[in-house]
Structure 1
Amino acid sequence: MLNRRRFLSLGPLAGLLPSLTFGETTSSVTNQPASGPLVISTWKQIKANEAAIAVLSKGGSALDAVEAGVRIPEADPNDTSVGYGGLPDRDGRVTLDACIMDEKGNAGSVTFLEHIMHPISVARAVMEKTPHVMLSGEGALAFALAQGFKKENLLTKESEKNWREWLKTAQYKPVINIERHDTIGMLAIDSKGNISGACTTSGLAYKMNGRVGDSPIIGAGLFVDNEIGGACATGLGELVMRTCGSFLVVELMRQGRTPQQACEEAARRITSKQAYKDIQVGFLAVNKQGQHGAYSIQPGFNFTLYQDKTNRVLEAGSFLK
């Protein structure tokens, strides 16, 4: 195998070997340096990406972009896994989790938050207006109301109908790639090259009351290091929390892995130690050079990428085929 030291020792001959790569895996995801602002989000999130792009196109920050982007599915009553319209827990309560992280390493998070349509904005307020990283439950709600957020009923008639139907059997079983959406995680690079990320969800449908997944946890559902890159996760949060998934992806990139390689290794850490046959976890990552990666355990995970002035939905590679 031709390693870097041996390659450099070839001197002028190295120029005759332009097609050689060093340990990169083959994948359906194309990794090319970004020529401008970049936005990447879990699942099919064209409108969310467009909202983020609108911020970046005006010279806005990556932080403003990811907040604006994920607010779109938070307010969408037809998205049953995020915000307004989210399917409730087994007691019929819509409880929301979210976190946000900027290029300086600052972070804010809310868990088990009820009655507030935009938990991502509350998470940002926690980051910017308190000495804390995370607020939960009644405390998070009291803080949100004190900040001027409006208290609303987030349980739509359709989600309530689905919940009441579920109550007839009360059988709990997460469904892989349900409706091809789940938690939205979003990463952005602005015109200054700064990276920020956001993650927001209503969590697993019909979960136990009080359950919190990986989405609002810094290092699990989301992690950003502006020197290296950022990562986010979607799917069954318990598996991501057990491996500190997003932090792991960023650390692997720090060690020299490409975003694609890092996402694949993070998935392998799960499949090598945990039962995975009937569940889904997906990872997204970007590095400082604008390269991106996407990978999941099960096939069927897609993501939305804005790069080189093109916004498109792509399919991620997977551990199971």
Structure 2
Amino acid sequence: MLNRRRFLSISSLAGLFPTLSSWAVTSAPDPAPPGGPLVISTWRQPKANAAAQAVLDRDGRALEAVEAGVRVPEADPSDTSVGYGGLPDRDGRVTLDACIMDEKGNAGSVTFLEHIMHPISVARAVMEKTPHVMLSGEGALSFALAQGFKKENLLTKSSEAAWREWLKTAQYKPKVNIERHDTIGMLAIDSQGNLSGACTTSGLAYKMHGRVGDSPILGAGLFVDNEIGGACATGLGELVMRTCGSFLVVELMRQGRTPQQACEEAALRIVKKQDYKDVQVGFVAVNKQGEYGAFSIQTGFNFTLSQQKETRVIEARSYLK
């Protein structure tokens, strides 16, 4: 029962806020306009960003943009960490990983895929033409061939020569920022304000046959939530998987962090738990409003941003100076 003291207390509040219900509605800020079109990718990727931007310029979906963008390094034989020309595993076999995610939360992924130049397009086919999210190994290859993808040799002469040189010592030690490039992760916002992301790699050079890193793992190498934003990771995938890095970045943005703050906190989670002195992990992120951020453990990580008809390669902040 509402006693007199309680009634007077409420009445006093009502005097201070005579239209309390109206105040509660109008106090929230107006929704910010979409932050696109925008493309952001890990490392120096002006050609990849240009391909993605071309899709956005004709009002294409962010999903189409990120697929078109990462297909560029996948087909570049001089890029030894993605697709065709990628350095092989210790058995001399090029194995590829990729994933893609759209604005509706749909996703597709392939792991341990051989002989197909564009694993990102196979991942999209998994998303759109199967009831599954991930296919792997021979199953992924069989599916790709059934979808009309061409089987071809991805081991270039230069990558094979590098592998044979490595065999002389067969010492396995991943290098920080090798060639200042690694996995390509890409995020885009289209003219409708929708987000999508893609991630593709040939993985660590001379890895154990069968090794899969973070790149095709949703929530590790890539995660997109169209209400909040998206994030992707690069570097030593084992460290990213142990912290669900990209999912963590997006969830931190959901809690109110800026993209920059979220990337920094996700990297620090790794630093607190792992021996990080000789390894690299980097994150890039963008929120629904088009704000972006990037952070890495080691110096030397950069990212490519295309926004408002301008493309820039930007050096990311880092934990170690």
Please say whether Structure 1 and Structure 2 have the same fold, judged by a TM-score greater than 0.5.
yes
Bigger CA radius of gyration: 2
Q: Give the corresponding residue for 2:218.
A: 218
Q: How big is each residue's C-alpha offset from its partner over 1:211-236, in whole Å with a ceiling of 9 and x where there is no partner?
A: 00000000000000000000000000
After superposition, residues 268-283 of structure 1 pair within 5 angstroms as 268-283=268-283
Distance 2:197 2:146 in 1: 25
Question: Are 1:56 and 2:56 an aligned pair?
Answer: yes
Q: Distance in 1 between matches of 2:181 and 2:75?
A: 15
Q: Distance in 1 between matches of 2:154 and 2:243?
A: 32
Corresponding residue of 1:77: 77
Instruction: Give the corresponding residue for 1:96.
Output: 96
Secondary structure of 1:246's counterpart equals: helix
Q: CA deviation at 1:36?
A: 3.8
Partner of 1:13: none
* Percent of aligned pairs sharing the same letter: 86
- 1:275, 1:308 → 2: CA distance? 40
* Paired residues for 1:42-53 under 5 Å: 42-53=42-53
Equivalent runs, 1:119-134 vs 2, <5 Å: 119-134=119-134
Amino acid of the structure 2 residue aligned with 1:251? E
- The two structures have a TM-score, normalised by structure 1, of 0.89
Task: Identify unmatched segments of 5+ residues in structure 1.
Answer: 1-32
- Tell me which residue corresponds to 2:14: none
Residue 237 of structure 1: aligned partner: 237
**Aligned 8 A contact 1:116 1:151 in 2:** yes
* Shift of residue 34, structure 1, vs aligned partner: 7.4
- 1:227-284 deviation digits (Å, cap 9, x = unpaired): 0000000000000000000000000000000000000000000000011000000000
Which amino acid counterpart does residue 76 of structure 2 have in structure 1? Answer: D
Cα distance in 2, alignment partners of residues 123 and 238 from structure 1: 21
The offset of 1:309, in angstroms, is 1.1
What value does the CA root-mean-square deviation take over the aligned residues? 1.1
CA shift at 1:116, angstroms?
A: 0.1
Distance 2:276 2:87 in 1: 24
Moved over 6 A (4+): none
Residues 183 and 215, structure 1, Cα contact 8 Å, conserved in 2: yes
Q: Assess, with a 3 A threshold, how the Cα gap between structure 1 residues 306 and 34 changes in structure 2: closer, same or farther.
A: farther
TM-score by length of 2: 0.89
CA contact (8 A) 1:126 1:134 kept: yes
Equivalent residue, structure 2, for 1:118: 118
Distance (whole Å) between structure 2 residues aligned to residue 136 and residue 63 of structure 1: 22
State how far apart, in whole Å, the 1-side matches of 2:49 and 2:282 are.
18
The 5-angstrom pairing of residues 292-303 of structure 1 reads 292-303=292-303
Q: What CA distance in whole angstroms lies between the structure 2 residues aligned with 1:143 and 1:175?
A: 34
Mapped contact 2:221–2:246 kept (Cα < 8 A): yes
Q: Does 1:252 align with 2:259?
A: no
CA-to-aligned-CA distance 1:143-177 (integer Å, 9 cap, x gap):
00000000000000000000000000000000000
- SS at structure 2 position matched to 1:263: helix
Given that residues 220 and 241 in structure 1 are in contact (C-alpha distance below 8 angstroms), is that contact kept between their aligned partners in structure 2? yes
Aligned position for 2:196: 196
1:196 partner amino acid: S
Which segments of 5 or more consecutive residues in structure 2 lack a partner in the other structure?
1-32
Q: Is the 8 A contact 2:96 2:113 kept in 1?
A: yes
- Answer yes or no: is 1:38 the counterpart of 2:38: yes
Structure 1 match to 2:4: none
